């Protein structure tokens, strides 16, 4: 089984071609540059790369406004370069996921251009139109404060068109049979070129009925997910869909499918928000609740666990009070917040660059039920540039070295500014500098990634929450194939004694906890309880074993 379902024990690394590595000095990252960094990624230990949109696009929403689904933006290279890239990945055992952005196109897409000009064009029905301004046009905007409406009047078509996101992203009519067929064709195209699956953008909106009704009245068509998945399985059995669906736990099973026949993976937004609440308040209880409520899933399905991504940290599903607590801890200034619901900063500055807290956050992410997804640059603790607008602040170029422009480009005009000066500037934070230092964050990440891959219990197994002596200590146990692992985290900035019984059912005994990260093992008291002193923000990963087990490992 472990040789199947690769995504169950993967480490995914997300990057944007345009900000990763520039090979020709034009200031824009490209596939050739990325290829030069594949050995870096392999060395880091990640097993899959998720590429954000790289297709031709006016890039008014960082490529999430696609103008041609079958090409590569010439700024990044050619289709030939893309195939060289997937080949290079394959050679190194790295899988490639790409974004599938089919809820909407760019307004510049030839389909929309034709649809708006010619009422008889077949493309007219590929979008959603209304002769009159719909009554609910100001409802359901995704970017409050920036986006005013979900319907815009088009002077050329002389009709209103629907757009869930910005007005330059007209929604595709995903219920239309020709649009559905085109989506399959797009997937088939990239699968043929070597990708292992898709990070599917805005899934709840793709499957929602689209029209002039109130957003709450729009039904979801989960059947579409089944169709997409089925098609993928026909074309390439191992390929997956990783869905971006920030939904309530009671619909999770619909997205995965009752027997796992829809999407294989989804990002766990619910846990993500509660994880940040736990980090902000040292209170693990809401996180435990979120873990339990997202526990039910088909055996083949998997959660994607993440800390930060390219968007704002969306806290929209916390209570007002909880959200305020996270804001107060991690985004005290208004300028750090976005859309009234989120935080637009990178991880390291949110945690005040405190190495202990960064390690705690990563250790948690790596040991929550699912597959970890790392955002480029977070492995070296990159910062953000809050002078940039909206989400741009956390999308600055990768900092490779202390060379000018952080070694990202040999040119002197990077299309997006490299962070320079201050404690997060490339002069202080770079791969080159951290590579040489055995104690750097980068080398720590490399070690924890390696260990995570050697603990398949987390990706494959079932978890139970162990009772501990304090809400500031979170302890999880994973069981899989007669192996068990226990992870313990102290969410607070003071030392904590963690007392817990890793095997409450067994009634005590000669239980050993074998420390997977250091030599400091733990032997149970007669009662079966373990008593571990955790330093501020401390964490432990253990495998359950007997003394014998420890001995054998030492001998080996």
Binding site for ligand NOJ (CB under 6 A): 61, 64, 101, 165, 201-202, 244, 310-311
| CB nearer ligand NOJ, residue 64 or residue 426 | 64
Helix (H) or strand (E) holding 272: helix 269-281
Count of alpha carbons within 13 Å of 330, Cβ hemisphere only?
34
| CB nearer ligand NOJ, residue 59 or residue 453 | 59
| CB nearer ligand NOJ, residue 165 or residue 400 | 165
> What minimum distance in Å lies between the beta carbon of 202 and ligand NOJ?
5
In sequence order, which residues have a C-beta less than 8 Å from that of residue 322 and are 6 or more positions away?
277, 286, 315
> What minimum distance in Å lies between the beta carbon of 431 and ligand NOJ?
25
> What minimum distance in Å lies between the beta carbon of 372 and ligand NOJ?
18
> What minimum distance in Å lies between the beta carbon of 201 and ligand NOJ?
5
| CB nearer ligand NOJ, residue 386 or residue 471 | 386
CA distances from 30 to 22, 76, 397, 448 (A): 5, 4, 12, 29
> What minimum distance in Å lies between the beta carbon of 518 and ligand NOJ?
38
CA distances from 62 to 16, 17, 151, 346, 513 (A): 9, 11, 21, 17, 47
Q: What are residue 50's DSSP bridge partners?
A: 14, 97
DSSP string, 104-124: B--TTSHHHHHHHH-TTSGGG
| CB nearer ligand NOJ, residue 5 or residue 51 | 51
Distance CA 420, CA 382 (A): 11
3-state secondary structure of 438: coil
3-state secondary structure of 256: helix
| CB nearer ligand NOJ, residue 101 or residue 368 | 101
Q: Are 344 and 336 in contact (CB under 8 A)?
A: yes
> What minimum distance in Å lies between the beta carbon of 66 and ligand NOJ?
9
Q: What are residue 484's DSSP bridge partners?
A: 479
> What minimum distance in Å lies between the beta carbon of 263 and ligand NOJ?
16
Catalytic residue IDs: 201, 244
Could you tell me the two tokens for 358?
């960064």
| CB nearer ligand NOJ, residue 168 or residue 549 | 168
Distance CA 271, CA 277 (A): 10
Distance CA 280, CA 321 (A): 12
Q: Are strands 95-100 and 197-200 parallel, antiparallel or unpaired?
A: parallel
């Amino acid at each position: 089984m472990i040789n199947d379902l690769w995504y169950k024990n993967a480490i995914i690394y997300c990057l944007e071609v345009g900000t990763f590595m520039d090979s020709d000095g034009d200031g824009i990252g490209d596939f050739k540059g990325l290829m030069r960094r594949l050995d870096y990624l392999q060395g880091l230990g990640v097993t899959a790369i998720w590429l954000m949109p790289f297709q031709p696009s006016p890039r008014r929403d960082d490529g999430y406004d696609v103008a041609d689904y079958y090409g590569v933006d010439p700024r990044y290279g050619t289709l030939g370069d893309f195939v060289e890239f997937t080949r290079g990945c394959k050679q190194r055992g790295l899988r490639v996921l790409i974004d599938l952005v089919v809820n909407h196109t760019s307004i510049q897409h030839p389909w929309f251009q034709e649809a708006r000009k010619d009422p008889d064009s077949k493309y007219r029905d590929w979008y959603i139109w209304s002769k009159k301004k719909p009554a609910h046009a100001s409802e359901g905007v995704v970017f409050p404060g920036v986006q005013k409406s979900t319907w815009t009047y088009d002077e050329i078509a002389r009709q209103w068109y629907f757009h869930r996101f910005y007005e330059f992203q007209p929604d595709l009519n995903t219920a239309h049979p020709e649009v559905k067929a085109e989506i399959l064709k797009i997937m088939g195209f990239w699968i043929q070129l070597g990708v292992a699956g898709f990070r599917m953008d805005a899934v709840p909106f793709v499957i929602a009925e689209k029209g002039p009704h109130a957003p709450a009245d729009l039904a979801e068509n989960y059947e579409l997910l089944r169709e997409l998945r089925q098609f993928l399985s026909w074309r390439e059995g191992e390929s997956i869909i990783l869905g971006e669906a920030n939904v309530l736990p009671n619909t999770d099973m619909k997205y995965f499918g009752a027997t796992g026949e829809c999407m294989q993976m989804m990002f766990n937004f619910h846990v993500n928000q509660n994880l940040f609440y736990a980090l902000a308040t040292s209170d693990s209880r809401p996180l435990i609740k979120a873990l339990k409520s997202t526990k039910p899933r088909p055996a083949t399905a998997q959660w994607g666990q993440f800390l930060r991504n390219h968007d704002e940290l969306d806290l929209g599903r916390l209570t007002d009070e909880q959200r305020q607590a996270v804001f107060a801890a991690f985004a005290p200034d208004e300028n750090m917040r976005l859309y009234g619901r989120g935080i637009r900063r990178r991880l390291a500055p949110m945690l005040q660059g405190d190495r202990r807290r960064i390690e705690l956050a990563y250790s948690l992410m790596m040991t929550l039920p699912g597959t970890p997804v790392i955002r480029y640059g977070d492995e070296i603790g990159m910062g953000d540039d809050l002078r940039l607008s909206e989400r741009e602040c956390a999308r600055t170029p990768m900092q490779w070295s202390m060379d000018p422009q952080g070694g990202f480009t040999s040119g002197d005009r990077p299309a997006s500014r490299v962070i320079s000066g201050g404690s997060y500037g490339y002069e202080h934070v770079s791969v080159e500098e951290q590579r040489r230092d055995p104690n750097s964050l980068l080398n720590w990440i490399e070690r924890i990634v390696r260990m995570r891959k050697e603990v398949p219990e987390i990706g494959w197994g079932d978890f139970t929450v162990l009772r501990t002596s304090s809400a500031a200590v979170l302890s999880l146990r994973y069981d899989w194939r007669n192996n068990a692992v226990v992870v313990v985290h102290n969410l607070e900035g003071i030392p904590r004694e963690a007392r817990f019984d890793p095997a409450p059912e067994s009634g005590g005994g000669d239980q050993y906890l074998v420390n997977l990260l250091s030599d400091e093992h733990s032997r149970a008291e007669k009662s079966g309880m373990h008593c571990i002193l955790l330093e501020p923000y401390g964490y432990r990963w253990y495998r359950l074993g007997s003394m014998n087990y420890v001995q054998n490992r030492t001998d080996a």
